[in-house]
Amino acid sequence: MNSIRKTLSITLVSILAAGFASSAMAETAWQHNHPRRVEVNHRLANQDHRINREVREGEISHRQAHALHKEDHQIRHEERAMARQDHGHLTKLDQRALNQQENGVSRQIGH
């Protein structure tokens, strides 16, 4: 029975690894490193660090941090969806919309 579980586990891990590899290869380096995408994702990473720092310093609760992280996650998801629609890059209009959303989260962190 253990060998069956081990085989199933190995198979599952292999399938997951193949899925991650294929999704990573679906996007070229240029598309992933497009300047507008880099800027938006850099801001999201910076906000993530700010949220974590505010929790450590006791400025916001874990519940508030969770809500802010969730908003950032939704923005990141939207960034990826927008990039998929435009062949791997963001338009200026996409970037403006995402920046406005990030500004809203930023104001919630810094108050």
Domain limits of the chain?
1-27, 33-109
Position 87: which residue type? H
CA distance 17 to 108: 37
Model pLDDT for residues 60-95, shown as the tens digit of each residue: 999 999 999 999 999 999 999 999 998 888 999 999
Q: In the predicted model, is pLDDT for residue 25 greater than 50?
A: no
* Closest C-alpha among 102, 83, 103 to residue 34: 83
State the pTM of this model. 0.68
**Tens digit of pLDDT for each residue in 53-68?**
999 999 999 999 999 9
What is the phi-psi region of residue 80: left when phi exceeds 0, alpha when psi lies from -120 to 50, beta otherwise? alpha
